[in-house]
Amino acid sequence: MAIEPGQGDAPAHYTLLAGEHRLDLNARLGQSLGLTWTSAIACTHCGRATKKSFAQGYCYPCFKTLAQCDTCIVKPETCHFFAGTCREPQWAEQHCFQPHVVYLANSSGLKVGITRKSQLPTRWLDQGAIQALPILEVDTRQQSGFVEVLFKEEVSDRTNWRAMLKGEVEPLDLIAERNRLLARLEGGLARLRERFGADAIHELDATPVELEYPVLEYPRKIVSHNFDKAPDVTGTLLGLKGQYLIFDSGVINLRKFTGYEVEVN
């Protein structure tokens, strides 16, 4: 599924990508939509058929050999490139040794996150954030991991996806939160700059971004659909937020089912 920011005040735009086909999901809001998993899964990296999906879309061999499936992607502070054990040093040079952004977002309350600069604002839309603010830019993914570990002393790095889907999220003053956190973590940031160089971690003077989602009605109670348990998902499409489709019959996280072959009705 591809999510693009809306132009001006327009909500984000959702497109379901199925092979060559493109389905405009915003256009299906308020209408009946059926998704049926055919029981086939193709690895999102190599295209091979796989019985089970690993790390949200990979076959087992890819899961075990690709750098993008290594645990250091989720915990960049454990980067082991300099130990000479990176699974794919060339991939790492293109993806990890690139400027990364540390941001604050409001998806279900205040959270901290990191991403490659080029992944914004997609990353925020994926999380269903209603506000976001880049606060620091760092030279590498590993450095962003160390900064995130520091921020986790003060703020969560998680989204409560149920609260996010229910739309129970109060707007925050992200500039005030940023100033508060930078002041509180000043000592820790100074230590990281000593280690990586004064220029490696620098503050950004950005403006908070507001993100809108196409939602007709938020669910009061969250029921999850799961293709592995029930391959037919149908209902009236009531909304799109984060990686979720919100039906009157329940919600489904499509990211979880990346690589699943699905028939659309």
- Binding residues (CB under 5 A) for Zn ion: these are 43, 45-46, 48, 59, 62
Q: Is 186 exposed, middle or buried (0-12, 13-18, 19+ CB in 10 A)?
A: exposed
What type of residue sits at position 104? L
CB of 2 or CB of 46, closer to Zn ion:
46
CB of 68 to Zn ion, least distance (A): 11
Query: With contact defined as beta carbons under 8 Å apart, do 230 and 5 qualify?
Result: no
CB of 66 to Zn ion, least distance (A): 8
CB of 53 to Zn ion, least distance (A): 10
Coil, strand or helix at 156: coil
CB of 50 to Zn ion, least distance (A): 7
From residue 96, alpha-carbon distances to 76, 134, 202 in Å are: 9, 18, 18
Two tokens, residue 252? 């489904």
CB of 49 to Zn ion, least distance (A): 10
Alpha-carbon dihedral 65, 71, 73, 76, rounded to 10 degrees: -140
From residue 31, alpha-carbon distances to 26, 100, 176 in Å are: 10, 40, 41
CB of 1 or CB of 62, closer to Zn ion:
62
CB of 43 or CB of 246, closer to Zn ion:
43
CB of 83 to Zn ion, least distance (A): 26
Residue tagged 């990211």 (tokens):
255
CB of 59 or CB of 252, closer to Zn ion:
59
- The DSSP secondary-structure symbol of 75 reads S
CB of 53 or CB of 107, closer to Zn ion:
53
CB of 62 or CB of 101, closer to Zn ion:
62
